A = this chain, B = another copy of it.
Amino acid sequence: MFTGNKYIYLLLIFKISVLKEVLPKFNSTFSIDCVLFGFDEGELKILLIERNEEPFKDWWALPGNLVEENESLDQSATRILHELTGLSDIYMEQYYTFGDVNRHPQGRVVSIAYYALLRLGGDKVVKPISNYAKQAYWINVKDLPKLAFDHQQIFEKGMEKIMRRIKHQPIAFELLPEKFTLTQLQNVYEVILNKKLDKRNFRKKMLSFGVLRDLNEKQYGVSFRAATLYKFDKRKYAKLFSKEISF
């Protein structure tokens, strides 16, 4: 059957083998690494995985993956987040690209870093799924283990980023459940900015922006006096964007 087309047949086989040899290099040149921030039990946490593959097998690392050929960076970040957490519709932001020659021991891999802010606790607990990881855990940012690759650096830059961003944009709300108390909100600011804030001044300023809706509703099931619940009013973003909020 192939007698007349021997050449072509062999060439096809060969083509496939060459492509297999070269394309993986191509495919492995970008990756996305994600710093997923979550707020739970008064602590700021990030999602870390325990690697199950070389290099850095058994090390802790930021979740990440390779970018595929037919997806944009943002799409890739969204996909990777979904694969890891099952979550969709989470706002992720690209914040820096790490491209030192030897950052990956197996070749040149440039990594584009994204962060996202997730609501933890409550009914929306994030159950990480992953095939290249043994396990995934939420770990307090003040108590991080040693990380694989240059992930320590990637984390630190992400942390700096949200410290700056929280003064300009209402990102704190993304870490809280839909209904929250002012004390919880203040906790988010305190943990991210890493300093104590004055309760009265905090409340005065926050309420003055007019982006909080008093729900006329109280916490339920807490010991001691229940606090009023608030909701974030998304239509009134603009005012917070325009100016630095100093605490």
Contacts and interface: CB of A to CB of B under 8 A. Distances in A.
Contacts of A74: 99
A94 interface: yes
Contact of A97 (B7, B26, B97): B97
A123 interface: no
Interface in A84-99: 94, 96-99
Nearest to A100: B72
B26 A71 contact: no
A73 B99 contact: yes
Interface residues of A, number: 33
Nearest to A6: B7
Nearest to A164: B168
A36 B96 CA distance: 19
A53 interface: no
Given A26-B26, A94-B96, A96-B94, A73 B10 contact: no
Given A11-B11, A22-B22, A30 B72 contact: no
A178 to B, nearest CB: 30
A1 interface: no
Interface stretch (A13-21, A58-66, A226-234): A13-21
A71 to B, nearest CB: 7
Contacts of A25: 26
Interface of A: 7, 10-11, 14-15, 18-19, 22-23, 25-26, 29-30, 67, 69-74, 94, 96-101, 108, 110, 112, 243-244, 246
Contact of A18 (B18, B97, B244): B18
Contact of A14 (B14, B71, B100, B110): B14
Contact of A101 (B14, B15, B70, B96): B70
Nearest to A113: B97
A26 B26 CA distance: 5
The 6 closest A-B pairs by CB, nearest first: A73-B99, A244-B244, A97-B97, A22-B22, A72-B100, A26-B26
Nearest to A245: B244
Contacts of A11: 10-11, 14
Contacts of A96: 94
Nearest to A25: B26
A242 to B, nearest CB: 11
Nearest to A243: B246
Contact of A7 (B7, B67, B99, B243): B7
